[in-house]
């Protein structure tokens, strides 16, 4: 990996990095915060939402003070492959910046849009190989990245100690964002869609007994709450499956990073407790 920028923050070191990905066939970018000390440290992976790069969380979430206190590495990758020759769409909710953390099977997306494998395989191996990690990790994210965090944890429970989300797309098969992306990336097969739907995965018992609790924060003033996010579907699925899930409806909060910055310390602490258990 090539380090493109380095900053000191809360006693630790924040690096912006770039590498050539064998999974996506493109350069990929990310940021990594490492707390002070020799380690090894557990890892917390953050997945961002639509239109974001690795920079949104890195500069806006204010997570590194809590990460320093708890002794946790935080990794924030970009949300999709990018570059010349990579398929794209004029809309903000498809293509570059909108990878949805799935491996596309349909043209023109399939050659590069392989974000599930990138995060669950290549990124984890890369971080464990380059930084002083305990080789244990958790995952969280926002909106499209909340969907990604939930589905990757539910589909790969052996990789993660815990999972949480801010304003996740809770059931992509039942909202406009998800239907559009899944049709483009995965085709018409609704069974394939269901395998990447957090509410349906929970309802079906995915990772039952693995995660004692799933923490979800949702602002009640979020303009996407009713049509796109539908957290009540997660609650219903968890109740049906007997899965621990805590939904905190936060009054007055919207979909922005002001929301994440207000509660990110809680999420870092939630994960740190489980990473060090």
List the catalytic residue out of 93, 197, 217, 222: 222
List the catalytic residue out of 112, 196, 255, 271: 255
**In which order are the strands placed within the sheet that holds 2-9?**
2-9, 12-20, 27-34, 73-77, 41-47, 133-142, 163-166, 215-219, 246-250
- d(Cα 174, Cα 198) in Å, to the nearest integer? 11
Question: Is 211 in contact with 162 (CB distance < 8 Å)?
Answer: yes
Query: How distant, in Å, are the alpha carbons of 96, 97, 106, 129, 213 from that of 100?
Result: 10, 9, 14, 26, 23
143 counts as catalytic: yes
227 counts as catalytic: no
List the catalytic residue out of 21, 48, 138, 143: 143
112 counts as catalytic: no
> What residues are annotated to the active site?
143, 222, 255
């Amino acid at each position: 990996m090539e380090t493109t920028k380095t900053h000191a923050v809360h006693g630790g070191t924040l690096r912006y990095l770039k590498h050539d990905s064998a999974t996506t066939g493109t350069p990929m970018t990310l940021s990594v915060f490492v707390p002070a000390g020799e380690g090894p440290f557990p890892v917390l992976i953050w997945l961002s939402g639509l239109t974001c790069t690795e920079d949104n969380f890195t500069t806006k979430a204010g997570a590194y003070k809590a990460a320093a206190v708890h002794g946790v590495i935080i990794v924030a990758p970009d949300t999709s492959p990018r570059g010349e020759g990579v398929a794209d769409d004029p809309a903000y909710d498809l293509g570059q910046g909108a990878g949805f953390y799935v491996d596309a099977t349909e043209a023109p997306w399939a050659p590069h849009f392989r974000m599930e494998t990138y995060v669950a395989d290549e990124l984890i191996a890369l971080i464990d190989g380059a930084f002083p990690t305990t080789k244990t990790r958790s995952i969280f994210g926002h909106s499209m990245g909340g969907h990604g965090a939930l589905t990757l944890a539910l589909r790969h429970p052996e990789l993660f100690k815990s999972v949480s989300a801010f304003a996740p797309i809770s059931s992509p098969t039942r909202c406009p964002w998800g239907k559009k992306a899944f049709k483009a990336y995965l085709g018409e097969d609704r069974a394939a869609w269901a395998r990447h739907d957090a509410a349906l995965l929970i309802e079906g018992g995915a990772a039952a007994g693995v995660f004692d609790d799933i923490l979800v924060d949702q602002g009640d003033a979020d303009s996407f709450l009713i049509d796109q996010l539908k957290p009540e579907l997660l609650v219903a699925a968890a109740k049906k499956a007997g899965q621990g899930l805590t939904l905190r409806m936060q009054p007055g909060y919207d979909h922005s990073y002001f929301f994440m910055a207000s509660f990110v310390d809680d999420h870092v602490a939630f994960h740190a407790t489980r990473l060090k258990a």
